[in-house]
Amino acid sequence: MAAPTIMIGSHMPAIEFSSPQFLLLAIGVFGVAALLVIAWRLWNGGGIEDALADSERRQGETAERLARSQAELAGRLAQIAESQAAAQARMAEQLQAQERVLAGKLEERLAEVSRRVGESLEKSTQSAQTTLSDLKERLAVIDAAQRNITTLSSQVVGLQDILANKQARGAFGEIQLNDLVTQALPPTAYAFQATLASGRRVDCLLTLPNPPGAIAIDAKFPLEAYSALREAGSDAEREAARRGLAQTVTRHIRDIAERYIVPGETADSALMFLPSEAVYAELHANLPAVVQEAFRRRVWIVSPTTLMATLHTVRAVLKDARISEQAGLLQAEVGRLLDDVRRLDERVGKLQTHFRQADDDLRQIRISTERIDKRAERIREVEVEEPERVAKPTPPRLAAEP
């Protein structure tokens, strides 16, 4: 068992003593004290025998005190051992309780972590499934788009084959012209492949009233010249191709001006329809001389977009002309409408008179009902009178009706 620790002072180091060591130290201290007492007495002239007797007596007392101190020290050491054992037992119980608490918290934390990991895995699985389903849908869309691209490629190849033939290209322009005109105008406002008095056929003839009169529309598609311009590799080739396009379009303008502007039969202008916005933009951007030639010959160059705007203007002109033709009819109808309004006003006046008469009749009926009610009250008062107080009841005189 470890030796007890005795603290001497608040700032001195701890000194450990075992029981034999403590006894020896105490005996030595008391022995030295006894010798000092003997020497002091000898110094003062006392006898040796008294000094020795006194020393023995003092040593006996010291031994007794030492025995008592040793017994007290043993009791205290036993108490300290018991208190240390109890403290160790309490500490062990506390440690066990803390271990149990920590084990419970650890189990809860592990369960929480397991739950979160499970939820995270479930969410990850659902997200992966959603991503896979979206990926499948997108792959299906891409597959459909690929099929559409393949179909479109075959259609583009077919369109190129169609446009390579002049007759097929002309038919393409006429079909596009047909679609635009039929969408914008009523059937009575146009005629396709109309024959003029000169025997020439025009792709479309807009039948407008005078002025301006019938307007001819001819579809032209200078694809070869425009393709040469697009495929030119140098500035010289590009300039030559542009001159070729200008010559081709100018020739078409002259042909339309000579064939489809007929004084007295058509308007003093005609339309040249280009079924390509790119060719139309090229003419207005880089060939202003061709556009000026068209203006001079009163041949208006139109593209699908500008033709649609022109057709809507023509539709407004037709509507205005139709309204002008029917202005007299509209005035007659307005006159009849005013007559109907006058008759309606007269009938409303008569009906208002009837309403006033009915109101007067109802007021008279109300007066009669009030008088009947008053007379009924009088009759009821007569019936409740006591018979012994009235010898011969006589009926009350009723007021005459007004």
* pLDDT at position 139: 81
Region of residue 45 (phi > 0: left; psi between -120 and 50: alpha; otherwise: beta): left
Q: Please answer whether residues 201 and 193 qualify as being in contact, where contact means their C-beta atoms are separated by less than 8 angstroms.
A: yes
142 and 15 inside one domain: no
Asked whether 245 and 298 are in contact (CB, 8 A), the reply is no
Query: Domain tally for the chain?
Result: 4
Residues 284 and 311 in one domain: yes
The pLDDT tens digits for 327-359 are 777 777 888 888 888 888 888 888 888 888 888
For the cut 50, the answer to whether the pLDDT of residue 402 exceeds it is no
My answer on whether 134 and 70 are in the same domain is no
Average pLDDT, integer, range 98-123: 83
pLDDT of 68 strictly over 60: yes
- Tell me, what's the pLDDT at 168? 52
CA–CA gap between residue 150 and residue 326 (Å, rounded): 56
Same domain, 158 and 202: no
Asked if 15 contacts 25 with a C-beta cutoff of 8 angstroms, the reply is: no
Q: Are residues 177 and 243 in the same domain?
A: yes
The confidence score (pLDDT) of residue 14 equals 43
Domain assignment of residue 389, yes or no: no
Q: Are residues 321 and 236 in the same domain?
A: yes
* CA-based torsion, 145, 146, 151, 156: positive or negative: positive
User: Are residue 294 and residue 240 in the same domain, yes or no?
Assistant: yes
Q: Which residue has the higher pLDDT, 295 or 231?
A: 295
Decide which of 54, 78, 102 is a domain's last residue: 78
217 domain-assigned: yes
Residue 112 lies in a domain: no
Residue 377 lies in a domain: no
**How far is it, in rounded angstroms, from Cα 77 to Cα 73?**
6
Last residue of a domain, one of 299, 325, 351: 325
* CATH (domain of 268): 3.40.1350
- Report the sign of the C-alpha dihedral through residues 337, 341, 344, 346, in that order: negative
Establish if 98 belongs to a structural domain: no
Beta bridge partners of 205: 191, 216
Cis peptide before 212 (omega within 30 of 0): yes
Which residues sit opposite 121 in a β-bridge? none
Kindly tell me if the per-residue pLDDT of 43 is higher than 80: no
Q: Mark which of 102, 133, 164 sits at the end of a domain.
A: 164
Do residue 173 and residue 318 come from a single domain?
yes
DSSP 265: T
Binned at pLDDT 50, 70 and 90, residue 383 comes out as: low
Instruction: Transcribe 42-88 into DSSP letters.
Output: HHTT--HHHHHHHHHHHHHHHHHHHHHHHHHHHHHHHHHHHHHHHHH
The residue with tokens 């650890």 is 106
Residue pointed to by tokens 């109300």: 366
Greatest alpha-carbon span in the chain: 184
pTM beyond 0.75, yes or no: no
Taking the C-alpha atoms of residue 218 and residue 205, their distance in angstroms, rounded to an integer, is 9
- Name residue, tokens 């739950």: 115
Is 201 within a domain? yes
- For residues 70 and 19, the answer to whether their CB atoms sit within 8 Å is yes
pLDDT band at 295; cut points 50, 70, 90: very high
Q: What share of the chain has pLDDT > 90, as a percent?
A: 5
What is the extent of the structural domain holding 137?
117-164
Same domain flag for 124 and 188: no
My answer on whether 316 and 353 are in the same domain is no
My answer on whether 242 and 340 are in the same domain is no
